[in-house]
Amino acid sequence: MPDDSGRLPEWLPDWHVDVEGCVNFRDAGGWATVDGGRLRRGRLFRSDDPIRITPAGRAAVDRLGLAMVVDLRQQTQFSRTPGFVEPARTAHVPLVDQVVDHTDPPPLDTPRDIADLYAGMIDESRGQLGRVLDLVAEHLSDGPVLVHCAFGKDRAGLVTALLHAAVGVRPQGIVADYVRSDIPARRRRAAMIAAPLEDDPPVARLPEALFRASPETIELVLARAVDEHGSLDAWVASFPTARSTVDRLRDGLVER
How far apart CA 256 and CA 247 sit, in angstroms, is 14
pLDDT score for 81? 84
Q: Does 43 have pLDDT greater than 60? A: yes
How far apart CA 18 and CA 32 sit, in angstroms, is 24
How far is residue 79 from each of residues 66, 71, 181, measured CA to CA in Å?
21, 11, 24
* For range 226-234, the mean pLDDT: 98
Q: What percentage of the chain exceeds 90 in pLDDT?
A: 80
pLDDT score for 2? 39
- Domain boundaries along the sequence of the chain: 26-250
pLDDT tens for each residue of 77-121:
898 888 999 999 999 999 976 556 666 667 788 999 999 999 999
pLDDT score for 103? 65
Q: Does 200 have pLDDT greater than 80? A: yes
pLDDT tens for each residue of 7-21:
444 556 889 999 999
Q: Does 62 have pLDDT greater than 90? A: yes
Q: Which of 219, 72, 91, 92 is nearest to 155 (CA)?
A: 72
Q: Does 4 have pLDDT greater than 80? A: no
Give domain 26-250's CATH superfamily: Protein tyrosine phosphatase superfamily (3.90.190.10)
How far apart CA 83 and CA 93 sit, in angstroms, is 13
Q: Does 5 have pLDDT greater than 50? A: no
pLDDT score for 130? 98
* For range 177-183, the mean pLDDT: 96
* For range 41-68, the mean pLDDT: 97
Q: What percentage of the chain exceeds 70 in pLDDT?
A: 91
Q: Does 212 have pLDDT greater than 60? A: yes
Q: Which residue(s) pair with 255 in the sheet?
A: 38
pLDDT score for 109? 87
Q: Answer for the pair 72, 149: CB distance below 8 angstroms, yes or no.
A: yes
36 phi-psi bin (left φ>0, alpha ψ -120 to 50, beta other): left
HSE-up (13 A, CA, CB side) for residue 67: 15
Average pLDDT of the chain? 92
